Structure 1
Amino acid sequence: MESHSHPFVSVIIPVYNDAERLKLCLEALENQTYPKTGYEVIVVDNASDEAADIKGVVAQFGQAIAAYESTPGSYAARNKGISLAKGEVIAFTDADCIPESDWIEKGVEHLLDVPNCGLVAGKIEIFFKDSTRLTTVELYESLMALPQQEFLENHRYGATANVFTWRNVIKDVGAFDASLKSSGDVEWGQRVHSYGYQQVYAEDTCVAHPARYSFQQLYKRTLRHIGGTYDLQMRRYSSSLKMNQMFMSSLFFNLTPPLQFALTVFRDPIIKNWNHKFKISLVMFFVRYVSAWELMRLKLGGVSERE
């Protein structure tokens, strides 16, 4: 039953093949402090392989329902979830995230407390396979992965691993750009800001997210991120001159050795091991040059990667 203090919440989770981690996410969502009659969880299968049996996984959890979206891309899947949602509040997380037990409760509190609130971006806590033996990529991720407060305060968006909003806000500003495979949360969050809505970062509204631990995982993430950014720029700048300027600026940035980043890492008092400092700096070189090559591939007619 919906009330002012407990509006009905629809949690939307896109998933592509990630059945094992989805189970952990749904277990956490099954055991929320929010009243069970006050929320639903919509899992949108984005054309996973049949062997993943996403529908069978979802059927194990009483709060969850399964949906399907064949158009590739998590934002197309999120839009499908929005179309089915019953909630006055819409919350987003990802299949590989583990929400805290009071995640829904805290997210709703912030929506209610902030006047004209369009978006609550919650904390994304990074965790590791073995915190006593971090891989080189995990060391890098410990500094760089999903800095939600920075996303919101400096760039006016929240990563959809942890975002709450009102259904009426989506009705006003529109849903996600389903043609984007990445950076759809950037475009949507900045659209919410441009409409004059308040945005808030919520440290106490937390989900845990696994760090990428291999160069292969980081490579795939980098390709997806650069592709999404490139596609977004293509939509924003109709002028070929402006697009070429943005391309050259991005290319130059990524081909320039990240010496400032390395200097910051070596000065960081939290990272005390000099070998770790060196390794983190090398990973940034890797990310920059992979980004540059992907930009050139896209400029020459390539298509952005889905995963």
Structure 2
Amino acid sequence: MDGTRPLVSVVVSARGNGNRLGNLLDALTRQTLDAEQFEVVIVDNDPPGPHRPVVRTVTKADRPYAARVLHEPTPGLSAGRNRGISAARGRYVAITDPDIVPDPGWLMALVAAAQEEQVFCVGGRSLVDYPEGSVLALSEPLQECHGAVRWPAQRTPAAWPYWVTGCNLLFERQTALELGLFRTDLGRKGRWMGDCEDLEFIDRALQSGLQVLIEPAAVVTHPVYLSETTGRYFIRQGAGHGVCVARMHLSVQVVPAAIRADRDAVIDAVVGLAMSWGFLDRAKAVESARDLTRIGFYHAERARLRLLRRRPVLPSFITADRQGVAS
């Protein structure tokens, strides 16, 4: 701690889910990291109006850590998070979501990994819970729409097939400000189910030469509700994901495994749809329909960006070849 400056600022942006903040705030009172070493910055991203569930939830109880509420009028998860990060006072920023419940050792594990390994960013393990059950029998690809399913057994560099998620992420604040924060054309925005803001941020950090680590000992639980397990939800999620992966090309080199939108992927999705019809497998039908939606929206967005003359980032080997020719 540097005077009154906290070591960590926990930043949470809430829009339409501020009434779920209570469990997170209560869980933060049980952190093994001393309460004087962290602050909590909650960004109220709700639209204008007299009903402010975020403020009511934060102020209705005394807690051992400092907490403050900011307002961000621009809608969107990235806009809210960026507002909180900009106002944070900690050396590190830990990003999470209103309905997340962290284990008691969460912050301590993230900070220890960052300091011991001397890395820019650490992502923890996010466990998905289905408190209301699920409408569909979820296959692994459908479960991955709610978060990573596979995690390493010990600290490991962030690389495919593992990835980190925005509900469990800690990074050095000043370095993040210099790198650039979350892109506001990515991520959830109202009813638009965008994503990839965390994936793009991490890829940009890695491609800038910064180190990112996964610490599986830093655990949070992420509840997924019944409405998020329907066929309609997965189709909408696939559309948003396809658009956002296409937009990622504007700032980072996208890992091929994260794209999966070539001819073979289309054939696999069509075959999966036919097989699901034959075997009356509803989950497989949704999985395949989501893939076709995702692929279609990916290519449609790439075409739109080309019409707008928005150029993608070139792979490094192509850039190097062109520099060699120019020299």
Whether TM-score is above 0.5 comes out as yes
1:175-205 Cα offsets, whole Å, 9 max, x none, are 2223323322122111211232222111110
Residue aligned with 1:71, SS: coil
Structure-to-structure mapping, 1:213-292, within 5 angstroms: 213-234=229-250, 250=261, 252=263, 255-258=266-269, 278-292=281-295
Q: Structure 2: any 5+ residue segments left out of the alignment? A: 188-194, 254-258, 274-278, 306-327
More moved, 253-262 vs 82-91? 253-262
One-letter amino acid matched to 2:170: F
Counterpart position of 2:213: 200
Q: Give the Cα–Cα distance (whole angstroms) in 1 for the partners of residues 219 and 52 of structure 2.
A: 27
Q: Give the Cα–Cα distance (whole angstroms) in 1 for the partners of residues 46 and 173 of structure 2.
A: 26
Q: CA 1:218–1:65 in 2, change beyond 3 Å: closer, same or farther? A: farther
Q: Give the Cα–Cα distance (whole angstroms) in 2 for the partners of residues 114 and 218 of structure 1.
A: 37
Q: CA 1:210–1:138 in 2, change beyond 3 Å: closer, same or farther? A: farther
The answer to whether the Cα contact below 8 Å between 2:129 and 2:223 also exists between their aligned partners in 1 is: yes
The answer to whether the Cα contact below 8 Å between 1:157 and 1:185 also exists between their aligned partners in 2 is: no
Counterpart position of 1:26: 25
Q: CA 1:101–1:259 in 2, change beyond 3 Å: closer, same or farther? A: farther
The answer to whether the Cα contact below 8 Å between 2:114 and 2:121 also exists between their aligned partners in 1 is: yes
Would you say how many aligned residue pairs link Structure 1 and Structure 2?
A: 275
Q: How much does 1:134 deviate?
A: 4.2
Residue aligned with 2:131, SS: coil
Q: Give the Cα–Cα distance (whole angstroms) in 1 for the partners of residues 202 and 268 of structure 2.
A: 31
Q: Give the Cα–Cα distance (whole angstroms) in 2 for the partners of residues 52 and 216 of structure 1.
A: 30
Question: Please, which of 54, 79, 87 is the counterpart of residue 90 of structure 2?
Answer: 87
Structure-to-structure mapping, 1:143-162, within 5 angstroms: 145-147=146-148, 149=151, 152-154=158-160, 158-162=164-168
Counterpart position of 2:314: none
The answer to whether the Cα contact below 8 Å between 2:19 and 2:53 also exists between their aligned partners in 1 is: no
The answer to whether the Cα contact below 8 Å between 1:33 and 1:102 also exists between their aligned partners in 2 is: yes
More moved, 63-72 vs 11-20? 63-72
More moved, 65-74 vs 227-236? 227-236
Q: How much does 1:259 deviate?
A: 8.1
One-letter amino acid matched to 1:119: C
One-letter amino acid matched to 2:96: T
Q: Give the Cα–Cα distance (whole angstroms) in 2 for the partners of residues 260 and 143 of structure 1.
A: 21
Residue aligned with 1:189, SS: helix
Q: How much does 1:146 deviate?
A: 1.6
Counterpart position of 1:185: 198
Counterpart position of 2:312: none
Counterpart position of 2:182: 176
Residue aligned with 1:33, SS: coil
Q: How much does 1:236 deviate?
A: 5.5
Counterpart position of 1:59: 59
1:203-223 Cα offsets, whole Å, 9 max, x none, are 110111123322233233323
The answer to whether the Cα contact below 8 Å between 1:251 and 1:295 also exists between their aligned partners in 2 is: no
One-letter amino acid matched to 2:177: K
Q: Give the Cα–Cα distance (whole angstroms) in 1 for the partners of residues 122 and 44 of structure 2.
A: 25
Counterpart position of 1:163: 169
One-letter amino acid matched to 2:26: E
Q: How much does 1:119 deviate?
A: 1.1
Residue aligned with 1:87, SS: coil
Please provide the CA RMSD for this pair.
Answer: 3.4
Q: How much does 1:11 deviate?
A: 0.6
Q: CA 1:195–1:297 in 2, change beyond 3 Å: closer, same or farther? A: closer
> What is the TM-score normalised by the length of structure 1?
0.76
Aligned-residue identity in percent: 20
Q: Structure 1: any 5+ residue segments left out of the alignment? A: 238-247, 263-274, 303-307
